[in-house]
Amino acid sequence: MKFSANLGFLWADRPLPDAIRAAGAAGFDAVECHWPYDVDAKDVRQALEETGLPMLGLNTRRGNVAAGENGLAALPGREAEARAAIDEAIAYARAVGAGAVHVMAGFADGPAADAAFRENLRYACAQAAPHGIIILIEPLNRYDAPGYFLTTTDQAHAIVTDMGLPNLKLMFDFYHVQVMEGDLSRRVAALIDIIGHIQFASVPDRGPPDEGEVNFEYLFGVLEGLGWDRPLGAEYRPVRPTDETLNWLGAARAGRL
């Protein structure tokens, strides 16, 4: 298996270019991030070129973080801000060579939120398509993100399949899906055709994958059997310095996590 370091959590105490270099030194195959916008894209691109690592993806801005916002795309009446965030994310992705943008829905519910989300996704996909960029949507569990618009893979599946846009895909995070739904191996197999990226962390603590209740050795084998050959995103919270939490990486490559 190949693995990507999510630098929103791993080496988060370092400037993003240095975190990229740390991921390369640790043996990751790729990197991804959350909100890189305060870092000059040229510096990020230089670190990527130095290490030879691709940047898989990044998130749209959350909105007013001080007010507790966590995305804009499903907020009725905020379309102009949501589309500005989409434009910004696509531009940054192009500047660093990232292949995907996760459009964050935000805290909302109801038919108006659903309509706003779909229209903003339609806009995002249209803007991203000429550049070969995939638009991702990710269900977040209701315990970590209470009130978030998108919470289940069934809801995400309905949006992706109803809209029928070739560059709209599901980001399947084993952590969030286990917390909300369980049945991970069957669920990922059933959804594999619409999945654009996969992330993981232990449950319930969102730590490294060699801890907790989920058997990732088994799940990684399931993914291999499904023909998944793209890097899997390690999006976990290190409870110690990141370099001290990486014993799982060699074990996973050897199939003995």
Domain boundaries, the chain: 3-253
- The pLDDT value recorded for residue 257 is 82
Tell me the pLDDT tens digit for each residue of 228-237: 999 999 999 9
Catalytic hit among 88, 181, 235, 244: 235
Q: What does the mean pLDDT of the chain come to?
A: 97
* Residue 45 confidence (pLDDT) above 90: yes
Alpha-carbon distance 233 to 33, whole Å? Answer: 10
* Residue 114 confidence (pLDDT) above 80: yes
* Residue 254 confidence (pLDDT) above 90: no
CATH class of 3-253: alpha beta
* Residue 98 confidence (pLDDT) above 80: yes
Contacts for 195 with CB less than 8 Å, ≥ 6 apart: 169, 170, 171, 172, 188
DSSP 8-state class, residue 59: E
User: What percent of the chain stands above pLDDT 70?
Assistant: 100
Work out whether the CA dihedral 194, 29, 200, 252 comes out positive or negative: positive
pTM listed for this prediction? 0.97
138 catalytically annotated: yes
* Residue 241 confidence (pLDDT) above 80: yes
pLDDT confidence bin for 255, thresholds 50/70/90? confident
Average pLDDT over residues 124-136: 98
Find, among 178, 179, 176, 87, the residue nearest to 135 by Cα: 87
- The pLDDT value recorded for residue 200 is 98
Tell me the pLDDT tens digit for each residue of 152-206: 999 999 999 999 999 999 999 999 999 999 999 999 999 999 999 999 999 999 9
Catalytic hit among 49, 81, 138, 211: 138
